């Protein structure tokens, strides 16, 4: 049942009506973004199986309707699109339901952990003729866009090496680790996507990893520290470092080295002040986590989704873009298990 708590008059500029599934952390990020920072869209309803969460989000963000039954959103004729921000194991189910209901879809990463599930969902989307955008928001970060422009414009010559550092300030709750798909599928998947965004397709990975932060993560069968080497189709050699804990805050850096120079991006800080005295030269810690560091990119990705639907143009991050990093993560996991380089061709089209 849909519970209407606010009767709002929609302005003429509010053209795309969305429903959100999931009122957890990322669902609330998108609810905040869509209701305050994205023109041309309005959030009409939010659903979460935990009714108090849906009600609280609806009240906080001025969303007209809320429900504890996500399926109810697909029956609302008012909705043009659905933003799927629920747990990963529900993504393909909701993608297929939304597609069959004729709703355009924004879905958080990853689409799923299983390639067959992903392929079935993408086939349903294609058959329905709706759009599907995957939530790789880092593509929309101003630093990453500038890096890509430097590469594409030849400012650093022919790219030769890529290095990505991605470290969280603290590990997530162990309950989340158990259902997340693990570090490579949950955390490093953003970095796998960034590799493709910047330099194209990867053909081979070699992974090393261990549990160096929290023994409970290892007991649950996952790792919290990893290094992955990658070989790109164009010959570039890449590397990714991940850690679930950086005591100084959210560490997000990228460097691309080329024949005529290098391009790099550093961490974002709340201010640009450096303090120098007789004992040290120092500055404040970087922004603490993704909600602050990538706040603008969340708005940019949603604005791009809304614009694509409004203008009947392809979305900038499609289902195939969502599928490819899952293949890379699976190759990384196999490499970790078997202690050898794994070509992506070994994974794609086969049961991993």
- Which among 211, 209, 206, 210 has a CA at the least distance from the CA of 239? 206
Each residue's pLDDT tens digit, 81-128 = 999 999 999 999 999 999 999 999 999 999 999 999 999 999 999 999
238 CB neighbour count, 10 Å cutoff: 22
How far is the C-alpha of 36 from the C-alpha of 27, rounded, in Å? 14
Kindly report, as residue ranges, where domains of CATH 3.30.360.10 are found in the chain: 138-289+319-346
Helix (H, G, I), strand (E, B) or coil at 341: coil
How many whole angstroms separate alpha carbon 285 and alpha carbon 250? 9
Segment 178-189, tens digit of pLDDT: 888 999 999 999
pLDDT on residue 4? 46
> What is the average per-residue pLDDT within 29-48?
96
Element (H, E) at 217: helix 215-219
Closest CA to 43 of 17, 67, 61: 17
**Span(s) in the chain for CATH 3.40.50.720:** 3-130
Q: What is the pLDDT of residues 175-218, one digit of tens each?
A: 988 888 999 999 999 999 999 999 999 999 999 999 999 999 99
Q: Mean pLDDT across the stretch 238-245?
A: 98
pLDDT exceeds cutoff 90 at 11: no
Longest dimension (CA), the chain: 68
For the structural domain made of 138-289+319-346, what CATH number should be given? 3.30.360.10
Q: Which two tokens stand for residue 218?
A: 């290892």
Domain boundaries 3-130, corresponding CATH code? 3.40.50.720
- Alpha helices, DSSP H only, in 134-173? 142-152
């Amino acid at each position: 049942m849909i519970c209407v708590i606010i009767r709002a008059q929609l302005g003429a500029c509010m053209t795309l009506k969305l429903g959100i599934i999931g009122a957890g952390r990322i669902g609330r990020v998108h609810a905040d973004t869509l209701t305050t920072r994205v023109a041309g869209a309005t959030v009409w309803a939010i659903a979460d199986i935990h009714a108090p969460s849906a009600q609280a989000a609806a009240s906080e963000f001025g969303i007209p309707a809320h429900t504890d039954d996500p399926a109810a959103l697909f029956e609302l004729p008012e909705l043009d699109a659905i933003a799927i921000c629920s747990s990963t194991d529900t993504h393909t189910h909701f993608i297929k339901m939304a597609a069959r209901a004729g709703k355009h879809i924004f879905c958080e990463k990853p689409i799923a952990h299983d390639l067959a599930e992903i392929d079935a969902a993408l086939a349903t989307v294609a058959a329905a003729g709706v759009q599907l955008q995957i939530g790789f928001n880092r593509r929309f970060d101003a630093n990453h866009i500038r890096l890509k422009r430097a590469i594409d414009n030849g400012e650093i010559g022919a790219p030769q090496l890529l290095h990505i550092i991605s470290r969280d300030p603290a590990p997530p709750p162990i309950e989340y680790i158990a259902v997340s798909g693990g570090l490579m599928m949950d955390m490093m998947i953003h970095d796998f996507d960034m590799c493709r965004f910047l330099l194209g397709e990867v053909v081979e990975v070699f992974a090393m990893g261990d549990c160096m932060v929290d023994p409970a993560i290892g007991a649950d069968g996952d790792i919290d520290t990893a290094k992955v080497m990658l070989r790109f189709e164009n010959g570039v050699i890449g590397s990714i470092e991940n850690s679930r804990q950086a005591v100084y805050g959210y560490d997000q850096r990228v460097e691309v080295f080329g024949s005529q120079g290098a391009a790099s991006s550093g961490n974002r800080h709340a201010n640009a002040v450096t303090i120098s005295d007789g004992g040290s030269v120092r500055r404040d810690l970087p922004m603490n986590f993704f909600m602050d560091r990538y706040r603008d990119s969340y708005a940019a990705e949603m604005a791009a989704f809304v614009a694509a639907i409004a203008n009947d143009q392809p979305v900038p991050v499609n289902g195939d873009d969502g599928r490819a990093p899952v293949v890379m993560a699976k190759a990384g996991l196999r490499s970790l298990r078997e202690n050898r380089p794994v070509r992506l061709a070994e994974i794609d089209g086969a049961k991993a």
